[in-house]
Amino acid sequence: MTVLVRSGVGPLCAVARAAIPSIWRGKYFSSGNEPAENNPVTPMLRHLMYKIKSTGPITVAEYMKEVLTNPAKGYYVYRDMLGEQGDFITSPEISQIFGELLGIWFISEWMATGKSTAFQLVELGPGRGTLVGDILRVFTQLGSVLKNCDISVHLVEVSQKLSEIQALTLTEEKVPLERNAGSPVYMKGVTKSGIPISWYRHLHDVPKGYSFYLAHEFFDVLPVHKFQKTPQGWREVFIDIDPQVSDKLRFVLAPSATPAEAFIQHDETRDHVEVCPDAGVIIEELSQRIALTGGAALVADYGHDGTKTDTFRGFCGHKLHDVLIAPGTADLTADVDFSYLRRMAQGKVASLGPIKQHTFLKNMGIDVRLKVLLDKSFQLGHFPLQSAQEIKIKETHFIHCRLSLLV
Ligand SMILES: C[S@@+](CC[C@H](N)C(=O)[O-])C[C@H]1O[C@@H](n2cnc3c(N)ncnc32)[C@H](O)[C@@H]1O
């Protein structure tokens, strides 16, 4: 397969909508029967209802894209959803060890590939900047190894709010930031340790050059198309207004085949599949860049190897959340299909994994690092309950994560 193109909703005009017979309900997570009082009419719901009324039902991919990254009302654009007070928590927010081990992995790749005189560290979707901060601390600690190497940091981030938090975490604004909202490089500065750092909205704006790319819990928020096998063949799942309940959305199946069906493999045996063309486009770009200018990419996410079916779900306040209720107030996510990412990288770069994150971190020496940190904490009299709880959360989290390496 080559570059994949997002499909439109042309065939489903207002007339066709009235004739759609099939209502589809996700078996596991997607949408149930929430009581009406739990269904506030959010600005995003109003926006989506206008959209559906004027152009017909929308694909799940379009729904995810609008809800998460609409520049005016998107969930990711203006809020900090990470951490205990937010909707979900990620490994770097739980423990510094995660980023430290990734930092060591990047340095060992740099050494193994001939110690280039310069490299870019590029992170897609950096959240609060905690992960890249932990990696940069390792780079500083191993300064004697990296001393003749010019390093720069490049962050791909659509969220205005999170980019401000990243800037504060990573630069402490010791040197004033340059801001230019209209430019592809919308912010520039210097990190606490003196490394140039820049922000972009799209990967294609990041300069080409020898780079290490990192995507942690980034691919799972990219929009997926969903398809259901029916006696008439594959049918795409769309989102429509529920005619029975005011201000409520529902899933429906397209009455006939849609162009996006081309994304499904001919030998597909599952009865429900999720495809993320945006992920394919990004992996193709990463692979081309690595093939052209050298480097490596590391993708860590919740995922599967082409086996899971309905994984589309929402999170609000650390709890599962009906994806069609109060859109814009909860995170939406779908597990990453690593077999698809591998196919998109094929023939351009070597692709390793996925392996469980647990195995990767064990191989990288997490136990030794943890012991050192705990010993230090005991010596300082800091250990305790809080650390013990953190370690417990971390283990469950890692076991559910999988990791893919594209080298
Ligand atoms: C689930 S958070 C993960 C944050 C961080 N990597 C971590 O592990 O803590 C997803 C991140 O991707 C960003 N993001 C979401 N969609 C994006 C897009 N289309 N392009 C760039 N960044 C995006 C979000 O703003 C956020 O920083």
Digits of tens for pLDDT over the chain (407 positions)? 121 111 222 223 333 333 344 666 654 445 655 655 567 899 999 999 999 999 999 999 999 999 999 999 999 998 898 988 899 889 898 888 999 999 999 999 999 999 999 999 999 999 999 999 999 999 999 999 999 999 999 999 999 999 999 999 999 887 789 999 999 999 999 999 999 999 999 999 999 999 999 999 999 999 999 999 999 999 999 999 999 998 999 999 999 999 989 999 999 999 999 999 999 999 999 999 999 999 999 999 999 999 999 999 999 999 999 999 999 999 999 999 999 999 999 999 999 989 998 899 999 888 887 888 777 766 766 554 444 444 443 333 333 333 444 33
From CA 252, how far away is CA 241, in angstroms rounded?
Answer: 9
Q: Which residue owns the Cα nearest ligand 1 atom 5?
A: 127
Centroid of ligand 1 to alpha carbon of 217 (angstroms): 7
- Residues, the chain, total? 407
| Residues 219 and 336 sit within 8 Å (Cβ to Cβ) | yes
CA dihedral 36, 38, 43, 44 (to 10 degrees): -90
Say how far apart CA 265 and CA 233 lie, in whole Å: 13
CB 345 within 8 A of CB 351: yes
- Structure tokens belonging to residue 203: 């990967």
Residue 15 Cα to ligand 1 middle (Å): 37
Site to substitute for ligand 1 among 157, 214, 315, 332, most atoms within 8 A of C-beta: 157
pTM of the model: 0.88
Pocket test for ligand 1, best of 158, 160, 201 (most atoms within 8 A of CB): 158
Q: Exposed e or buried b for every residue in 177-205, given b needs 16+ CB within 10 A?
A: beeeeeeeebbbbbbbeebebbbbbebee
Any alpha helices (H) in 123-159, and if so which ranges? 130-141, 143-146
Question: What is the C-alpha separation between 18 and 293, in angstroms, rounded?
Answer: 52
Residue 214 class from Cβ within 10 Å (0-12 exposed, 13-18 middle, 19+ buried)?
buried
What would the DSSP string read from start to end of 41-66?
--HHHHHHHHHHHHH--EEHHHHHHH
DSSP conformation letters of 370-400: HHHHHHHHHHHT--SHHHHHHHHHHHHHHHH
- What is the rounded distance in angstroms from the CA atom of residue 247 to the CA atom of residue 45? 8
Instruction: Using the mean position of ligand 1's atoms as its centre, give its distance from the Cα of residue 130 in Å.
Output: 12
